[in-house]
Each structure stands twice: as C-alpha cells, then as structure tokens.
Chain A
Amino acid sequence: MPHNVDEGAEETAERLEREAHDAIAGFSLDDAVRLVREALAIREASQGDGHPDLIWTLSLWIEALGRKHRPETALEAAGLGERRLALRRTALASAPDELAYSLRELMALYTFEYDVLDTGRIDELQRELDALPAARHERDA
C-alpha cells in the first residue's frame, strides 16, 4: 500500500499511543483521550486518513471512552467504531471471519448497559453479519 510516510511523525504517534495505553490502564481517561486525539491527528496528516495504522489509534480511543462508562461517551465510541469498521473492511478483506468479529464489536458499542443506542444500525449490522460466509459457518458448526 503506497503511502507518503513521515518516520518522525509515526514515531511520535507511536509514543503518544503508548502513553495513552498506559493512561487507560491507570484510569487517567481524559489524559488518554487527549493523547490519542493528538496521535490520530498526526497519523492522519502523515499517513492519510485511510491508513490501517489508524485502526489501533481508534481502538485506544474507543477503550478510553468505554471505560468512562457514560451513555454519551458510548455513542461517541460507536461513531469511532464506525470509522474503525470502515478501515477494517479494507484491512480484513482477506479475513471475513475477522470482519465478523469486527461487526459484533460494533454492535456491542451500540449497546450501553441494557439500552440499545441505535436499533436500526444494529439490525443492519446483524443482517450483514448473517450474510457473511464466516458467520454462517460458525453458526452451522
């Protein structure tokens, strides 16, 4: 995949992501969100907004928001999950079984405790999941 990669920027983003990862583990969630937001901006500028490296950055952001455990952050996490899924559709083109896991993860992001945040979207994701050969195979096994 050709990309105009700025090595210095990538290293900075990696460092920020590592710091965010540690901040999530230490429940410094506002710090984690700040760090990961910065890392994402750097990656978007240096690698482009379709680069698969953005998936990890988004995953960190989603985890930080998930640990805040509030309905509004859950919805924000689901929005980021949509973007992550779009990137994963390309990165996991050769691995439909893994795409199935990603669809389920996004469905989980649209659920906060016992509330479904977007029923229509969950139905769409479920239909897509049902149509995946990997999911059908899992169900039949």
Chain B
Amino acid sequence: MAGELLIQVIDMGRFRAIRPALNELDAARVLGSESLSLLREAAASPLVRRHRPGLAGLLRRILRHPELELRVFLAPTQVDGLIEGLVHALCFENGGEFSLVTPVGPSWVVLDIELAVLGDLDWFQAIFLDPNPKACRLAYPRAGEGCYGVLSRDDVARVASELRPLLDDPIPTEITAGLKALAEHSHLPVLTLTQAVRKTAEGFARLAAKGLSREELTLAHTSLL
C-alpha cells in the first residue's frame, strides 16, 4: 500500500506552546530548562511509556545527560524521530495513533481507494491536494515523509459542509459517476465502493466536527508513501 492520505485531529494550541522546545531540539544543542521540563512531561506520560518505547528510550537518554549537546550523542535521524514522536504524543489526538487495517478510527481516517473518488472533487483538491503545500505545512516534523499539511478553520468548516451531501441518500450524481468509473477500473462492485466511500465520509465528517469543536483544534493530513 502506498499513497494513502492520512487525516487526523491536531491541537494547534498545544503545538504552538511546545514550538520553542521543538526549535531547540531541532538545533540539537544543550536544552534549556523549559525544553527539559517538556521532555520530563512526555517521559512521564502513560501513552509514551506504554506505546512508544523508542521515544521513551530516547527521552531517558537525554534526561540522563541534560548537560550534553544532543548532536554529540544522537544521530540526526534520532533527533528527527524524537521531534516527530513528541508532536504525535503531545499534539495529536490519541497520540497520533492510526491504523491501515482500520482506515476509519476514532481520531483518524485513511483514504485509500476512496481518494480516486474524492480526489476528483474541486473542494477536496483545493484543500488536500494543493500543489504548493508549503503554505500550510506544519513546521514539525520538518524532514522527510512525516510532513503534515494543516487545515485552516475555514477549510475544516468547508470539509464539514461539503461532506454533508455524501452522507445523504441519494449520493450526489458527480460521486455516482466517479464510483462507476472506479468500479470499471478496479473491477470492484459499485455497491462495495459506495459503502467504502460512505463509511469514510462518515468518519471524515466526525473528524471535521471534532476539529470544529474547539478553537485550538484542526485537521492535519499527510501522505503515506
């Protein structure tokens, strides 16, 4: 599997709060007291201790030697992994958990074959397939495959509004046409594809509603390469 689009809920208020610490980590020098406090908080969180052993190990090593520059004993990929792990653990709902096996979860949606249908819609293209993604890119994780795009609140409201017709019967004509074309191409029954798109749209709409439920929340998306 490759090329899926993962959409999750992120707390941008929290992200802004930890941004100075992320900048310090990215510089990979000696950390200040506030950054060290953040790392202690992350190390103490049950989510990190139980579900992110790699991150927990890195945090232990750094906290054991706060006097050392990170760049002296950690490799660049480890620093990148640390930053990515902290952003997921501290800013994403449910610690950034998602699953390819369960594409619609409580805090995520993975668009796979549904992308072929939704990707033809103007609003979806404008929001998720922007050819200039740097304009709305999350500052961290900075490197490689883990980069995220972030939606403005207006975009989240538009997603919620544009998804509404997909939840009603009958499904809009433009979607039905897309489903028929996809059925021919993929040799899957239209009904199967319709159910997949409907289920995804329901999960996606729940995420959008969650994203709109608090000022600091929004949706973040990344391509799974």
Residues of chain A whose beta carbon lies under 8 Å from any beta carbon of chain B: 21-22, 24-26, 52-53, 55-56, 59-60, 62-63, 88, 91-92, 94-95, 97-98, 101-102, 105
Interface centre among B28, B64, B73 (most CB of A within 10 A): B73
B64 cross-chain contacts in A, Cβ below 8 A: 95, 97
Verify B77–A63 contact, CB threshold 8 A: yes
A-B contact count (CB 8 A): 51
| A63 CB to nearest chain B CB (Å) | 6
B71 cross-chain contacts in A, Cβ below 8 A: 53, 55-56, 59
User: Which residues of chain B (11-70) have a CB below 8 Å from chain A?
Assistant: 28, 61, 64-65, 67-69
Residues of chain B whose beta carbon lies under 8 Å from any beta carbon of chain A: 28, 61, 64-65, 67-69, 71-73, 75-77, 80, 142-145
Name the residue on B nearest A56 (C-beta): B71
With known contacts A25-B143, A26-B144, A101-B61, A59–B76 Cβ distance under 8 A: yes
Verify B143–A88 contact, CB threshold 8 A: no
Name the residue on B nearest A102 (C-beta): B73
Verify A24–B72 contact, CB threshold 8 A: no
Verify A52–B61 contact, CB threshold 8 A: no
A97 to B62, CA, bound (A): 12
Verify B76–A21 contact, CB threshold 8 A: yes
A95 to B61, CA, bound (A): 10
A97 cross-chain contacts in B, Cβ below 8 A: 61, 64
**24 residue pairs A–B, Cβ–Cβ below 8 Å:** A22-B142, A25-B144, A26-B144, A53-B71, A55-B71, A55-B72, A56-B28, A56-B72, A56-B76, A59-B75, A59-B76, A62-B75, A63-B75, A63-B77, A91-B72, A91-B73, A92-B73, A95-B68, A95-B73, A97-B64, A98-B61, A98-B65, A98-B73, A105-B75
Q: What are the 8 closest A-B residue pairs judged by CB atoms, nearest first? A: A25-B143, A25-B144, A56-B71, A98-B73, A91-B72, A59-B75, A95-B65, A55-B72
| A64 CB to nearest chain B CB (Å) | 10
| B69 CB to nearest chain A CB (Å) | 7
B144 cross-chain contacts in A, Cβ below 8 A: 25-26
Verify A98–B68 contact, CB threshold 8 A: yes
| B16 CB to nearest chain A CB (Å) | 23
Among A22, A26, A88, the residue within 8 A (CB) of B72 is A88
Verify A88–B69 contact, CB threshold 8 A: no
Verify A52–B72 contact, CB threshold 8 A: yes
A53 cross-chain contacts in B, Cβ below 8 A: 71
| B133 CB to nearest chain A CB (Å) | 14
A94 cross-chain contacts in B, Cβ below 8 A: 67
Interface centre among A21, A22, A97 (most CB of B within 10 A): A21
A98 to B144, CA, bound (A): 27
A49 to B144, CA, bound (A): 30
A91 to B144, CA, bound (A): 29
Verify A92–B75 contact, CB threshold 8 A: no
A92 to B61, CA, bound (A): 13
Verify A60–B76 contact, CB threshold 8 A: yes
B73 cross-chain contacts in A, Cβ below 8 A: 88, 91-92, 95, 98, 101-102
A101 cross-chain contacts in B, Cβ below 8 A: 61, 73
